[in-house]
Amino acid sequence: MSGPLVLAVESSCDETGIALVEGGRRIHANVVASQVALHASTGGIVPEVAARAHLRWILPVLDEALADAGATVADVDVIAVTHGPGLAGSLLVGINTAKTLAWVHAKPLVGVNHLEGHVYAAWLIDPGEVEGPGPVFPLVALVVSGGHTFLVEMRDHLEYRLLGQTVDDAAGEAFDKVGRLLGLGYPGGPAIQVAASGAVHHDVAFPRAWLGDSFDFSFSGLKTAARRVVDAERLEAGIAGDTGATLPGPRVAELAWGFQDSVTDVLVAKTIRAARACGARSIVLGGGVAANAALRERLLQEAAELGMPVVIPRAGLCTDNGAMIGAAAARRFEAGERAGLDLDARPSLPPASR
């Protein structure tokens, strides 16, 4: 495989990730230090705590990634780093680490949009995996994460047309909120998936926010509806609001299934409709929520009915990691893009934007 060897740094939220990726595809190393356990007690990410954890782990993660790849920084062609969107403090840890490496070792630097990284995870190949052709253009990409939910059309590499995005809350944030309502803990997405798998009757129907013919998404109303349903169920079960007691397991499973089905229905329906409208030849699914089995299976099933291939990275490449940043950075680097040592964090960097 030809192409630049990229050392990529990802620290936009609560995962410290560093990877070495060749040619925008082949993973040589991909090390992630997760903070899930650290934030579980607060039921969500505390920005200052996240930034301090990045400071603690970023150099050990760098050392491990280089060791896994059997490489040194001298072997690397370019340093890449996420510069937005994300938490300001977390982003700055990764950016300053990458800038220091670039300056000390006289390597070019490339800044990457974190959301673009989630799209380019679809091109990644694990060590030992046979290289395939990758997603086919034109394509439609759905990115669903804790902070973002959006659809883009891609006619070629680095060419994006934003089709729709969330007008309020992201799907991942809704999963976390409803997970807490159901007493399932943090993060909500994996917990709701596990609980929903135990549902038997599938007798709960939550509302869908279709927003007319647009490709935009809305999950705020769904969160409100979920609170009302859970409060009503607790009242009927005689559970006081402040006792900390939860609904019986079988009922939690049905509620989890109903919520998950509502989110999945809207995401898949809009993606399939967008693919038809754009004349897409393939669909890409990315972002942390793309690890959800119900979403993956539903999208694969409905796309198969159209004879349209769907590319979904394995679950570990859907959540935040350095390899996806390396995949996107290689395309930017080969297109001639370079960042200066004045590269700064852009916490509110929008989708499909530099």
Answer CATH for 5-126+316-334 from 3.30.420.40, 3.40.50.720, 3.40.30.10, 1.10.3720.10: 3.30.420.40
Would you say the CATH fold of 139-313 matches that of 5-126+316-334? Answer: yes
pTM over 0.85: yes
Q: Please give the structure tokens belonging to residue 145.
A: 């994460």
Q: What percent of the chain has pLDDT over 70?
A: 99
Residue matched to tokens 């301090």: 52
CA dihedral of 35, 41, 47, 51, whole degrees rounded to 10: -40
Dump pLDDT digits (tens) for 164-210.
999 999 999 999 999 999 999 889 999 999 999 999 999 999 999 99
Residue 29 to residue 19: CA distance in whole angstroms? 5
pLDDT digits (tens, 9 = 90+) for 148-158: 999 999 999 99
Identify the three-state secondary structure at position 6: strand
Domain topology for 139-313: Nucleotidyltransferase; domain 5 (3.30.420)
- Nearest Cα neighbor of 224 from 267, 168, 270 is 168
Which pLDDT does position 41 carry in this prediction?
82
Three-state DSSP class for residue 143: strand
Q: What pLDDT does 242 receive? A: 60
Average pLDDT of the chain to the nearest whole number: 95
Distance between CA atoms of 76 and 353, rounded to whole angstroms?
A: 26
CA 289 – CA 294 distance, rounded (Å): 10
